Chains A and B, each alone.
Chain A
Amino acid sequence: MNLNPRSLRPRNVRARLTLWYVAILAGLLLIYGASTSAFLLFQLRSQLDRLAIEDLETVEGFLSFGPDGKVVLRSDYHDHPYPAEMQERLLEVRDAGGAVLFRNELLGNRELGGTPQADEGTATYSQRSIRLSDGTPVRLISKRHRLDGRPTLIRVGFSEEPLWQSFWQVVIGLIAGLPLALGLAGMGGYLLAKHALSPIERMARRAHEINAERLSARLEVENPHDELGLLAQAFNETLARLERSFEQLRRFTSDASHEIRTPLTAIRSVGEVGLRKQGSSDHYREVIGSMLEESGRLSRLVDSLLTIARADSGQVQLARMTIPVLPFVREAISLLDVLAEEKVQHLSLEGDADAKVEADPAILRQVVINLLDNAIKYSPAGGDISVRVVHVLNGHAADQIAIEVEDCGPGIPAEHRDRVFDRFYRVDEGRSREAGGAGLGLAIAKWGSNAHGGHLELDCPPQGGCIFRVLLPGRDTRA
């Protein structure tokens, strides 16, 4: 049979926890039981040893040599009342050569410990466990003793049977209790795990109900400070981000299709209407020209969308080089200067001539041009547009270079400020596409700033106008 060990693993955490719990507890109980039993055995033995030594000392005094050269135990010894164990005494006396001089009745003809060992009982008492010829386990205490001036070896033994009996009783009791204890612990552990994990089950059920259509639902956080609360909060934050990006995507898709549909509709209706009546070649030239204008607008829109898509997917590789900011901005201004001149606007540039950044010139140029274009578009005729290049000192943090473009337009109402950088977003919905463009300029400028590790921010001073500020990490001139 092919048994995959993984298939034996319990599927849920609850069962796995319980299993681990029971296994660890069983291990601990076994170690505890074994050491308790060993200690008990040791205790019982030393107790027996003490009794035996006491008895041996007593017996010594009652031993003497008889007339036949054998050793006798004086009978008045039995008159003394002794504990029951003493009645069980086994006694043997041997001479120095090892010949048996005495064996008591209980011992009979059985050997008690056999031939004396070399060091047996020489210094003080020696003790060991032996077995009699009939298999009885016996604790043996020996002592060398001069009896009536002759060296003898006295051996006293007691059966260990009662000792082992109580030992095994305890061991059996422990073993018998083990499954019961483990069973109870397992049940308790299971219930505990179930209780502890039940919020997770609830969270999982709730999470299942949350899908793309119902992203607004959230997990309930029972205790925001415990582990499960933290998990639920993290999950909720992820959901919120997901919901935001879904919302962004939805808005983007609908805005993009609107922006694409508008020129398409124009192309179609201009063409259809143009074909309805027979006209001069000038008429057709006019119609086709108008359609071409719209298709040009459509291509530019698609180009911008491609730029954004490429930026979103992180496909854009920055070709960074050191750029002196002031001449770079001056060049961009000279490009758009004519537009300001047409509106009799005054475009001024001032700032730090030493400011340098590491940037991709094509992308940074687009950022600056988009901001300038925006400022010219929204400033009234005759207005002032000032561009500043500023070195921003941030204490010990890395310095930043700011490129500020300040217009004297109507400003941006507070409720629109967060969203002006969104794609296709126009502050004034009614503004025509001719005047406002597709609403991608600031979105691209923002992306371009972020791509360089900087950002684009908007300030609206109370006296009116807007300041768009590109903050870029400055090049470390000290290095």
Chain B
Amino acid sequence: MRILVVEDERKVAKALKEGLEAESYSVDIAHTGEEGFFLMNSQMFDLLVLDVMLPGRSGLEILSALRLRGPRIPVLLLTAKDAVEDRVKGLDAGADDYLVKPFAFPELLARVRALLRRGKSEPVTSLQVQDLHMDLVSRAVRRGAQTIDLTAREFEVLEYLLRHQGQVVSREMLARDVWKETTRHTPLDNVIDVHMARLRRKIDERFPVKLVHTVRGVGFVLKSERANEP
């Protein structure tokens, strides 16, 4: 999978390149709008990560020009403006998704994966990591032979972690996707932490192998063994 990142801030561009390459994507970087536009027209990419504020041609201009030419490549916009009208402008110009700076890297990864997966999802009826099993139809969760009782919210959180297993899930992602919270400054972090603590108690406490891990400063990850942490 080949990704083109158009971002003028060199530090951010470098971090994105390294982070995405660590996830086995092949990444090209363009630091100006013109450079990005040229690369896009001369080579094939599977995904475009586009900063809105660029020197020269703005991200939105490039996006409009790209959409006029036809090839339907998914575009993830990055911007420091989060006013609703900016968001609408970006989506109107043909962006597939929108991420406001500063963003959590796991969130960027999750969105990149979602965009690349788009249209290829197959219906899932059950999720599993090691001996933890979740049946999405009967909404039953068990670990080994033991049935685990979860509240509705805990079930949703666990489902989200299972769907992103092995990947770090930030509190912002949980707030937006599980709690459906749109504004970023609602004090939900404590709420999320409490739910995570309870979930942990239910699925990990009585078992020698822990599945839920905290990545300090970033979020949580659900995975079987501790050996290959990110």
Contact = CB atoms under 8 A, between A and B. Distances in A.
B179 interface: yes
Nearest to A315: B83
Contacts, number: 56
A453 interface: no
A386 interface: no
Interface stretch (B2-10, B49-57, B132-140, B214-222): B214-222
Given A369-B187, A373-B187, A362 B216 contact: no
A433 B190 CA distance: 14
Contacts of A304: 185
A330 interface: no
Contact of B218 (A292, A315, A335, A341): A292
A286 interface: yes
B216 A286 contact: yes
Given A339-B194, A342-B194, A441 B217 contact: no
Contacts of A310: 83
Interface stretch (A25-33, A213-221, A295-303): A295-303
Given A292-B216, A292-B218, A335 B184 contact: no
A288 B217 contact: yes
A307 B184 CA distance: 10
Interface string B186-213: 1110110011001000000000000000
B183 interface: yes
B186 A369 contact: yes
Nearest to A281: B229
Interface residues on A, range: 20 to 34
Contacts of A291: 217
B195 A300 contact: no
Contacts of A299: 102, 184
B179 A338 contact: no
Interface of A is mostly: helix
B182 interface: yes
Contacts of A338: 191, 194-195, 198
A156 B183 CA distance: 112
Contacts of A362: 182-183
Contacts of B195: 338
B194 A292 contact: no
Most chain B CB inside 10 Å of its own CB: which residue of A290, A307, A342: A342
Given A310-B83, A339-B190, A342-B194, A303 B217 contact: no
A339 B184 CA distance: 19
Nearest to B218: A292
Contacts of B191: 335-336, 338-339
Interface string A339-377: 101100000000000000000001001100110010000
Given A299-B102, A338-B195, A370 B216 contact: no
A285 interface: yes
A199 B102 CA distance: 58
A373 B102 CA distance: 25
Interface in A124-176: none
Nearest to A317: B84
B186 A366 contact: yes
A299 B182 CA distance: 15
Nearest to B81: A306
Contacts of B190: 339, 373
Contacts of A307: 183, 185
A289 interface: yes
Contacts of B217: 288-293, 295-296
A342 B193 CA distance: 11
The listed residue with most A CB atoms (<10 A of its CB), out of B182, B187, B218, is: B187
21 contacts: A286-B216, A288-B217, A289-B218, A290-B216, A290-B217, A292-B216, A292-B217, A292-B218, A293-B217, A299-B102, A304-B185, A306-B82, A310-B83, A336-B191, A338-B191, A338-B195, A339-B194, A341-B194, A365-B186, A366-B183, A437-B187
Given A289-B218, A290-B216, A369-B187, 8 more contacts: A285-B216, A293-B217, A300-B184, A303-B184, A310-B83, A315-B83, A335-B188, A339-B194
